[in-house]
Structure 1
Amino acid sequence: MTFFDVIDALLGEHDEIRRLCAAVERSGDRERGCRFAALSHAVHLHELGERKVVHPAVRNVSGAADRIGTMRMTEETALLLSLDTLDDLGADDPGFDRGFAALHRVILDHLTREELDEFPILRCYVPVQRLYGMTGELNDVQAMAAA
């Protein structure tokens, strides 16, 4: 059995979200809506887990880390709003492709900022045992939300 700390788990989710973005981008008309729904679901669960487990741990480190965590949460709010707006628009709408291209850039930028800003803070300041415990918390939050 392999155990992952929360950063490894989040990096795996980031890879999956990037894969799902690429799948939406290259999909044809028939599968675009289904693939976008899968992406939307994955992003919502990911961001919920981060809000409940990851960002609080980052924000508790220091004043500077608190500002970083707050910036990531602000980005997430805007990202989720854009995601929901595009979902309401529908994959068949003529503006979907343009809207998705913009959303795709926002998602990729956000994931990269987390990897460059938050994850190093967690690695440096949060004890390893806590990082492993946070994985279970992340999984619990996401499982309850998905149920």
Structure 2
Amino acid sequence: MDTKEDRNVVDLLLEQHNQIKSLFGQLTQAQGDQKRDLFQDLVRLLAVHESAEEIVVHPTARKEIENGETIVDTRLKEEGEAKRALAELHDMGIDHPEFDAKLAALGRDVIDHATHEEQEEFTQLRAKLPEDRLRRMAKALRTAEATAPTRPHPGAGESKMANLLAGPPIAVFDRVADALRGWRESD
């Protein structure tokens, strides 16, 4: 049976894209505490996912796939826009009158972004790189995710170097804030 540790980077990212799409769908139906919890899950997943992609996947795609520079630069621009929109939504809160409309717009943009990644980056990575390299990239991705920030920080940048330098200290701050928020909500 295929375990998470056996999967390659493309399979892991496709699974995360499906989780992200599912969370957007669930958020359209949710209310109150469930909506807040689902949005927090979405914020965390998107922040971790994008940071890890910027460290592991995009640098490889830039070098290894056809038109890699152009494709990756376009994806990084989209990711920067999504980080800013997600940060705005995070600051505004689920009860803000514009939250649902802005969340729907972000959902469309993120799903469009994921579709482009899947069609332009992931298919070429799968076709051009040997399976053992894709599996090693999956391990690197999981490591990057473990030290990634849990909320968007648009000012930190969208590059491998920016994520490597700023990501771990910001992630420590985010994880402490997450723990305190969880403690306050349960107490």
* TM-score w.r.t. length of structure 1: 0.94
Instruction: Give the ranges of 4+ consecutive aligned residues of structure 1 lying more than 4 Å apart after TM superposition.
Output: none
**3-state DSSP class of the match of 1:107?**
helix
Q: How many residues align?
A: 147
User: 1: distance between equivalents of 2:113 and 2:25?
Assistant: 16
Match of 1:125 among 125, 128, 131: 128
User: 2: distance between equivalents of 1:6 and 1:129?
Assistant: 10
Corresponding residue for residue 36 of structure 2? 33
Amino acid in the other structure paired with 1:12: E
Structure 1 residue 142: deviation in Å?
A: 0.4
Indicate yes or no: 2:67 matched with 1:47.
Answer: no
**Residues 13-24 of structure 1 mapped to structure 2, 5 A cutoff:** 13-24=16-27
Change (3 A) 1:16 1:53: same
Change (3 A) 1:57 1:11: same
User: 1: distance between equivalents of 2:97 and 2:10?
Assistant: 38
Corresponding residue for residue 61 of structure 1? 64
User: 2: distance between equivalents of 1:34 and 1:80?
Assistant: 19
Corresponding residue for residue 135 of structure 1? 138
Segments of structure 1 that go 5 or more residues without pairing to the other structure are none
User: 2: distance between equivalents of 1:77 and 1:84?
Assistant: 11
Structure 1 residue 30: deviation in Å?
A: 3.3
Segments of structure 2 that go 5 or more residues without pairing to the other structure are 151-174, 176-187
CA contact (8 A) 1:65 1:121 kept: no
